[in-house]
Structure 1
Amino acid sequence: MGISAEEIKKRAYQLENQIIKDRRYLHQIAEIGTDLPKTSAYIQQRLTEMGISWKACGGALPQKLTADFVEAGFPKMEKATGVLAQIGHGSPCILLRADMDALPLKEDSGLDFQSCSSASHMCGHDSHAAMLLGAAQILKEHEDQLHGSVKLMFQPGEETGAGARIMVENGALTSPKVDVAFGLHVQPTEATGTIGYAAGVNSASLDTFILKIQGSGGHSSQPQLCTDPLMILNQVYQAVNLLVTREADPAAMVTLTCGVAKGGTAVNIIPDKAELHIGMRTLDVEAAEHLKQRIPEMIDHYVKAWNGTYELTEFHTPCTFSDQELCESLVPHLAEIVGADKVHQIPPMTGTEDFGYVTKEVPGMFVFLGAGQRGNAPLHSPKMVLDEAVLPLGAALHANAAAAWLQENGRETV
């Protein structure tokens, strides 16, 4: 016999104070990017206290990736400090994922345990990590009742759009091979304990293009002696925006924003350099693949047409995809924790979630867990506050999803 949902939920509430303690500590030591030394050390310490074996996953980053992150405005990051842990043995294997990085944002929540630095957990990743630690405790206590194994993925760098990719490339889905994956994200503007999910495409892809244009500057009275990078920037800006209106299916949700456009120092100087940052999001995989090819082509042709040169840095984060069959399997077990009336399908999120790197490789399910109420400050606001009553629920959801899926798909325990 496996562990029951009732037992899991009861134990989660018994652990509530510890889960809150974990969350508040992580909240105060908020760190950004892929290198989270204090956060990862705390996760490792807590897993060790529970008797759960763990290993680091990530390591040194390629020099180009470090340089690309700097180009994108992140601090210099030379390593990734992900943590993997395993409970149970053998196959099948379900992965539970929690991201744990913060935002480069000064907190203004007024909480007693407010972040001590210029980084803050205004996207709730501290709560994700704490809830997964709570689930780990429950699953470890019932390890001999698991019909396979549970892999815990504590992931840095979600806000970079590449943290999950780094861990996947470093073996997060192997040894043992992961068969399915589950993840969740808190939502402070939805009622605590409600669950929303979208079967199929769950969140938008994000494709970023950082363009540095090299011209040749000079006096504004002699433009014929110069190559004006600001004029080239303007041409590219217009071209890529028009591209979406003419080469993407109007039925596809595609948004394109040039969020950075800069160059020049004075009205009478044609500058040497200009810079344009382009971000594209879509829920349509076909549109994304087409435009990912066409935007660099447009850039190349326009810059060269006006005698400039350029450097182009690209980041690509795929859509997150929730597998229909896995959703049908797990929804009843999520309902066992929060009630069937609180689990409902929602439209896909137009934001981006790098759990998509996991769901590209294995069937996955990603859900949004209400942690507040309508009218609250949203994610990424300096005033965002979560209802901590969600913490034991999140721990129970993780644990029950894993235990129940293994019981239905795994070997008999001995």
Structure 2
Amino acid sequence: MGTTAAEIKKRAEELRGQITADRRHLHQIPEIGMDLPGTADYIRRRLDEMGIPWKNCGGDLPEKVTKDFVEAGFPRMERAVGITAVIGHGSPCILLRADMDALPIREDNDLDFKSENGWGHMCGHDSHVAMLLGAAQILKEREDSLKGTVKLVFQPGEETGAGARVLVENGLLENPKVDAAFGIHVQSVTKTGELGYAVGVNSASLDTFIVKIKGSGGHSSQPQLCIDPLMIMNQIYQAVNLLATREADPAATVALTCGVAKGGTAVNIIPDEAELHIGVRTLDVQAAEHLTKRIPELIDHYVKAWRGDYDMTVFHTPCTYSDEKLCRELVPFAEEILGRENVSQIPPMTGTEDFGYITKEVPGMFAFIGAGQPGNAPLHNPHMVLDEDVLPLGAALHAYTAISWLDLQG
């Protein structure tokens, strides 16, 4: 059975109807968070139909992790369930990843297959799953000729910033041991079929601090009898914003935002509590390490200086890193599928992608594939729509990249 780029593209095009059906079904049943029962059941059923053995990856979440996510505004999540599948045998092993969770956004599109449950696949993860299922069919048909192993992972919780971390902690990269990893993400504002990748740091880290400040409330006419959590919150707000301008290298891209600042019920009441959410994104690893050390110090000192107390919940998602050597190996395969003129190096994105937990452990490459055109609604928008012509292209890209990389290692 042929394995040239043209033959893989031809087979992916033959599978267009099934890949599209997979995407549209998943689009109608979006689920958010770490445990996605309807989505996972559908993926398992499709893998069974293709004769591909699968395993669940993940498990129960520690109670603290569950509580931390509730504090961050997510629904209560008690377990994380991903799915892995293996095609081929022996070493080396390349991992292909598709995230599968949706967003708490109500879709506002006129589609026959639009979501009606109040959530939406407005980041395109439904297409990622469909493309990987298409690649799975192509790879399974060529399993006997694979010069190693392809490991597929369907990952929950990317939008939480920690889904990949939970799976890695639960053995994602073992049995078989993964030697390289490849992932792609659709872009609705980029022309369909264009691929962009960054070498080195590929996406920003995200560090989140949720601070609940505890004071002692009372009447506004007697502030001396109170500990004002709103004043403490205001001082922390100013201090952390100044920190980014005075202790981070100006050459480092740092975006610090306090997206939540709340407390109080009336003008004449000093409240008992206030809450501040601080988010820091940066493409500079050194800046991230410094700021994530200093922000908790500032919080602690300001709260204690004004005799308050606090609870703090912290989330960390690292930069995604595309290995230079792996990029040199994989880019020619992408050019064969998409055309050399459609593959280019781009600056890293300032958004965050939890594929970084995988690229911390093994050489990886992450790329963005166009699924629309400039002027379209962007990702995370209720009007976001994808060009489904990207689906067979993405399936072919996954399959051909895996086959060719294994051949290259031999």
Following TM superposition, the consecutive aligned residue runs of length 4 or more in structure 1 with deviations greater than 3 angstroms are none
- 1:101-136 Cα offsets, whole Å, 9 max, x none, are 000000001111001211100000000000000000
Q: Which amino acid aligns with 2:314?
A: E
Mapping for residues 224-263 of structure 1, pairs under 5 Å: 224-263=224-263
- Matches for 1:330-341 after TM superposition, within 5 Å: 330-341=330-341
Alignment partner, residue 383 of structure 1: 383
Letter in 1 for 2:340: A
Aligned residue number for residue 222 of structure 2: 222
**Aligned equivalents of 1:2, 1:309: Cα separation in 2:** 66
SS of structure 2 residue aligned to 1:108: coil
- Correspondence 1:364 to 2:385: no
Contact 2:205 2:282 in 1 (8 A): yes
Give, in whole Å, the separation in 1 of the partners of 2:334 and 2:285: 28
Distance 1:356 1:2, change over 3 A: farther
Q: Secondary structure at the match of 1:176?
A: coil
CA-to-aligned-CA distance 1:68-114 (integer Å, 9 cap, x gap): 00000000000111000000011100000000000000000111100
Shift, 1:6, TM fit: 1.7
Aligned residue in 2 for 1:13? 13
Q: Distance in 2 between matches of 1:174 and 1:42?
A: 25
Question: 2:175 corresponds to which residue?
Answer: 175
Aligned to 1:303: 303
Aligned residues: 410
Matched, 1:394 2:394: yes
Matches within 5 A, 1:6-405: 6-405=6-405
Measured against aligned partners, the alpha-carbon deviations of 1:358-392 in whole angstroms (never above 9, x if no partner) come to 00000000000000000000000000000000000
Q: Return the alpha-carbon distance in structure 2 between the equivalents of residues 35 and 231 of structure 1.
A: 39
SS at match of 1:6: helix
RMSD (Å), alpha carbons: 0.8
Q: How many percent of aligned residue pairs carry the same amino acid?
A: 74
Query: Structure 2: which amino acid aligns with 1:147?
Result: K
Return the alpha-carbon distance in structure 2 between the equivalents of residues 359 and 31 of structure 1. Answer: 26
3-state secondary structure, aligned to 1:350:
coil
**Partner-residue secondary structure (3-state), 1:314:** strand
Task: Provide the secondary structure at the position in 2 that maps to 1:349.
Answer: coil
Q: Is the 8 A contact 2:188 2:376 kept in 1?
A: yes
Cα distance between partner residues in 2 of 1:401 and 1:59: 30
* Residue identity opposite 2:367 in structure 1: V
Cα distance in structure 2, aligned partners of 1:258 and 1:382: 24
Tell me, yes or no, if the aligned pair for 1:2 and 1:146 is still in contact at 8 Å: no
Counterpart of 2:7, as a letter, is E
Note the alpha carbon deviations across 1:183-221, whole angstroms, 9 max, x for none: 000001000000000000000000000000000000000
SS in 1 for 2:388: coil
Contact 2:2 2:8 survives alignment (8 Å) = no
CA distance in 2, matches of 1:325, 1:2: 27
Q: Is 2:409 the counterpart of 1:409?
A: yes
Q: Measure the CA separation in 1 of the matches of 2:5 and 2:138.
A: 11
Deviations 1:3-40 (A, max 9, x none): 22222111000000000000000000000000100001
Cα distance per residue 1:318-357 (max 9 Å; x no partner) = 0000001100100010011110000000000000000000
- Distance in 2 between residues matched to 1:116 and 1:46, nearest whole Å: 23
Q: Distance in 2 between matches of 1:32 and 1:321?
A: 25
Matching residue's letter, 2:37: P
Secondary structure, aligned partner of 1:167 = helix
User: Equivalent residue of 1:213, what SS?
Assistant: strand
2:404 match: secondary structure = helix
> 1:50 touches 1:137 (CA, 8 Å); kept in 2?
yes
Deviations 1:39-88 (A, max 9, x none): 01101110011000000011111100000000000000001110000000
Secondary structure of the 1:398 match is helix
CA distance in 2, matches of 1:359, 1:166: 14
TM-score (norm 1): 0.98
| TM-score normalised by length of structure 2 | 0.99
- Cα contact 2:27–2:114 (8 A) shared by 1: yes
Q: Which runs of 5+ in 2 are unaligned?
A: none
Residue 2 (structure 1) shift: 7.5
What is the alpha-carbon distance in structure 2 between the residues aligned to residue 97 and residue 378 of structure 1?
22
CA distance in 2, matches of 1:11, 1:193: 17
Give deviations 1:295-334, integer Å, cap 9, x for gaps.
Answer: 0000000000000000010000000000011001000100
How far does residue 395 in structure 1 lie from its aligned partner after superposition? 0.2
- 2-11 or 59-68, larger mean C-alpha shift: 2-11
Structure 2 distance, partners of 1:292, 1:97, is 29
